[in-house]
Structure 1
Amino acid sequence: MPYDVIVVGGSYAGMAAALQVLRARRSVLVVDAGAPRNRFAAHSHGFLGQDGVEPEIIAHTARAQLMRYPTLTWTEGMALSAEGEKDAFALSLAEGPSVAARRLLFATGLADALPDIPGIADRWGRSVFHCPYCHGYELQRGRIGVIATGPISLHQAQLIPEWGDVTFFTNGAIVPDVATRTALAERGVAIEDTPILALEGEADIRLSDGRILAFSGLFTATRTAPATPIAQNLGCMLEETPFGTQIRTDAGKETSIPGVFACGDVARIPHSVSLAVGDGAWAGACVHRSLVF
């Protein structure tokens, strides 16, 4: 017998979606590769009721609650490909036989492409961040560096002075015009055009002229893309956002392929744990309704 729904991705959005379907007493298979996007962060912030809790603890608690439902099956592993049509989908796994379902829901998350700067990957999620609402408060209004990657970085540079004293590093990624420089100055943002050589220490920036500037934390806008190509290989349409590419969905979280849904970071902007959970809950309800109506 096919599952009613297969959820590909067992992080926040995927579990929130699965919960709604399980509570409708439908059969759900969750396939999870175990690599959540926020695995580099020590704590999760801004999530009501879980502020400051370690991501692993939040995920473990949520999974334990889902496992209480008898119609849930959980598989740890990688989903390789999907095929079929509404009411007759098949999903192939890296290990084991393929599985069938009436509906598919992709909650696969995103991959972040960081700027090509030595030392930045080692500090990602620890002292280099992308969301000030998630990590800005803990910097205690200290010195903050914003590393440009493109036009979206101007938005970051103008927003982040709410959390500290900001220096904006253009780093060859953007050339602010006079109006932009004036707008940043009005926000108290210092502009540094000298290229970045590397990141050192906790959150120190070494410039190409030899200077080392110390900060409490750094922010940068990554370029995002779906963490796995499984949805686009099935034929789901993608769309461009200011942050990168994501799966296109309608108001009911259905993709361009009938019977295939998507939610969480891979299917909405902006990104945070709270927003992913809400998006997943709505997607789960929509998937269930599609089985009824």
Structure 2
Amino acid sequence: MDDVIIIGGSFAGLAGALQLGRARRKITVLDTGLPRNRFAGHSHGLLGHDHKPPLEILAAARQQLARYPTIKLVTARADSISGALDDFSVLTDDGETLKARRLLLSYGVTDQMPDIPGFSESWGKSIVPCPYCDGFEVAGQHWGLVYSGPHSIHAVTLFHDWTDRLTLFADGHEISADDRADLARRNVPVVDGKIIEIAHDMGQISTVNLDTGFHVAVDVLFAHPRNRPSAKLHEALGLETVDGPVGMVLKVDERRETSIKGIYAAGDLANPMASVTLASSNGAMAAIFAQQSMLV
């Protein structure tokens, strides 16, 4: 029996594996090899790895974990979970049953691309969600922002640390008179109409095309499509969730433990603030608290 099975081997899962391996705990990491940020050319803001391709960082992390004899990395999908504290069972897609005292869920989320021609082709290249991840590289350029809710108005104030040229695309949403007045005060034009196409060249955006007939040129487009967990294990377990601005996340306490004793969660699955730095930190914390929960 393992001490911990980690389901999801991206930044949160591998950071957790490192802490547990160094504590000489026996663990298995199950991973499908499809991290959320695989579409991004570079990852930013992770100390010591700034501006490196995310898949390159993860590959180096797996190589480093090889020096720990108690860590087992397995390319497999977890199909179901059963059991309880100190006796969990995980059934994989190849029919193998694994057992562990604790579980760490870090299988992340999947972004739901809107049905707009050119959007998915530009995602991770010139359509991005996070200024902390990509803002520095496009600072001072003309940014577009797709309105997706009240959080978009907050983003306008945030973006001014990177650029003074910002256009807000209403994308069919109603924007209140008060918000429009505030945007005008900030010199942020609002473009009404529904986005029907992203004109691009190999993923590099040229114009945002609207059903009103307007074509608006921007250098980069910030958007926040809805997302959903990459697996449904939490649903079968009945874990508590909370609603975030663009999707639900698992509810965890200050020790990263879910509503079921012995099951921990980290990464984008349990934090609406998507970031490799935060995912790595939360993964390490969840692993440490899982280890401490097994002390006698």
Structure 2 length-normalised TM = 0.95
- Give the gaps of 5 or more residues in structure 1: none
Larger mean CA deviation between 153-162 and 11-20 belongs to 153-162
- Is this contact kept in 2: 1:15–1:63, CA < 8 A? yes
1:28 and 1:131 map into 2 onto residues whose CA distance is 33
Deviation at 1:207, TM superposition (A): 1.7
Matches within 5 A, 1:111-126: 111-126=110-125
- Is this contact kept in 2: 1:161–1:189, CA < 8 A? no
Please give the secondary structure, in 1, of the residue aligned with 2:49: coil
1:258 to 257, 261, 264: 261
Please give the secondary structure, in 2, of the residue aligned with 1:270: coil
1:62 and 1:79 map into 2 onto residues whose CA distance is 22
Q: Tell me the alpha carbon deviations over residues 121-172 of structure 1, each in whole angstroms, 9 at most, x when there is no partner.
A: 1111011011011111111411111112222222223322332211000011
1:188 and 1:45 map into 2 onto residues whose CA distance is 29
Q: Which residue is equivalent to 1:236?
A: 239
Q: Which residue is equivalent to 2:170?
A: 170
- Is this contact kept in 2: 1:158–1:189, CA < 8 A? no
Larger mean CA deviation between 223-232 and 70-79 belongs to 223-232
- Is this contact kept in 2: 1:152–1:243, CA < 8 A? no
1:280 and 1:148 map into 2 onto residues whose CA distance is 31
Q: Which residue is equivalent to 2:7?
A: 8
Write the letter of the residue equivalent to 2:71: L
Deviation at 1:271, TM superposition (A): 1.3
2:183 and 2:113 map into 1 onto residues whose CA distance is 24
Write the letter of the residue equivalent to 2:155: Q
- Is this contact kept in 2: 1:225–1:244, CA < 8 A? yes
Percent identity of paired positions between Structure 1 and Structure 2:
40
Q: Which residue is equivalent to 2:104?
A: 105
- Is this contact kept in 2: 1:223–1:243, CA < 8 A? yes
Write the letter of the residue equivalent to 2:43: S
- Is this contact kept in 2: 1:128–1:219, CA < 8 A? yes
1:206 to 183, 205, 209: 209
Write the letter of the residue equivalent to 2:170: T
Larger mean CA deviation between 190-199 and 81-90 belongs to 190-199
Please give the secondary structure, in 1, of the residue aligned with 2:253: coil
Structure 2 residue 252 is the aligned partner of structure 1 residue 249: yes
Q: Which residue is equivalent to 1:67?
A: 66
Write the letter of the residue equivalent to 1:170: A
Q: Tell me the alpha carbon deviations over residues 216-256 of structure 1, each in whole angstroms, 9 at most, x when there is no partner.
A: 11001122221111122122111112231011111101111
Write the letter of the residue equivalent to 1:257: I
Write the letter of the residue equivalent to 2:278: L
- Give the gaps of 5 or more residues in structure 2: none
Deviation at 1:96, TM superposition (A): 3.9
CA RMSD of aligned residues (A): 1.3
2:79 and 2:209 map into 1 onto residues whose CA distance is 41
Write the letter of the residue equivalent to 1:263: A
Deviation at 1:46, TM superposition (A): 1.3
1:113 and 1:275 map into 2 onto residues whose CA distance is 22
Q: Which residue is equivalent to 2:37?
A: 38
2:215 and 2:175 map into 1 onto residues whose CA distance is 23
Count of residues in correspondence between the two structures: 291
- Is this contact kept in 2: 1:232–1:238, CA < 8 A? no
Q: Which residue is equivalent to 2:288?
A: 285
1:49 and 1:243 map into 2 onto residues whose CA distance is 30
Write the letter of the residue equivalent to 1:116: D
1:265 and 1:104 map into 2 onto residues whose CA distance is 16
